[in-house]
Amino acid sequence: MFGLGRRTQMVTPHEALPGRPAPAFAVPRTHEVLGTPLQGPWPAGAEVLYVAMGCFWGAERIFWRLPGVVSTAAGYLGGYTPNPTYEEVCTGLTGHTEGVQVVYDPARTSPELLLKAFWENHDSTTPNRQGNDIGTQYRSGIYWTTAGQEQAARATRDAFQEVLTEHGHGTISTEVRPFADADGERGAGPFYYAEDYHQQYLHKNPNGYCNHGPNGMTCPVGLIPAQHVAPAQVDVAPPAAG
């Protein structure tokens, strides 16, 4: 399915596929690697961050390996079509990007550390593309659910842009948006879980396709004083997956 459609212009709401009122497939309840809930409920105090960085297979593996991460899941967000399938998303006619839901314990890690892994493991300067994977479903994005995540997203983006510029690279194209509607801006949610075979794909298929790895540059951290990070969190309860 790689590159199917190769649509590089975002679909409009009127052009988008109609979708369906309920999921077309069942989704596992348990994370194949971590043994934790895939769809919640999350432990008390857990926070949720959503990211997109190309094909979600390799992206999800990056995060389930990080200390402090409670659960991860592959899915679709930022589009218009309700309850899309993988085949529909790959046409570019749903508006979704392939994303990863990252549930983490803020007592053991931070949005800055998670986003350090994000910036260092894909090319954030290629709009709607990661390598040979071309299309709006491969666009880069950070979708925040807390004020602290938003602050970390903007601070790390600006700091990493300086690193890119110093090394002769281009401008970051990553979209930074709220997951839920905020201040008149349309949120990237809801998050629709991807099909069973996409969840923890590279654990199930160790030699499977992966388009992620170190890009050779380091994202600065320690940019945000802890006492300035607001603890407020919006409702990020995942949708029922059937």
Contact 111, 49 (CB under 8 A): yes
For tokens 């919640």, what's the residue? 40
Q: Distance of CA 183 to CAs 141, 176, 186, 187, Å?
A: 19, 14, 9, 10
d(Cα 233, Cα 242) in Å, to the nearest integer?
26
Q: Are 193 and 73 in contact (CB under 8 A)?
A: yes
Q: Which of 55, 90, 210, 219 is catalytic?
A: 55
CA distance linking residue 67 with residue 203, whole number of Å: 17
Q: Is the CB of residue 89 less than 8 Å from the CB of residue 96?
A: yes
Distance CA 33, CA 98 (A): 20
Residue 219 bears catalytic tag: no
- Positions annotated as catalytic residues are 55
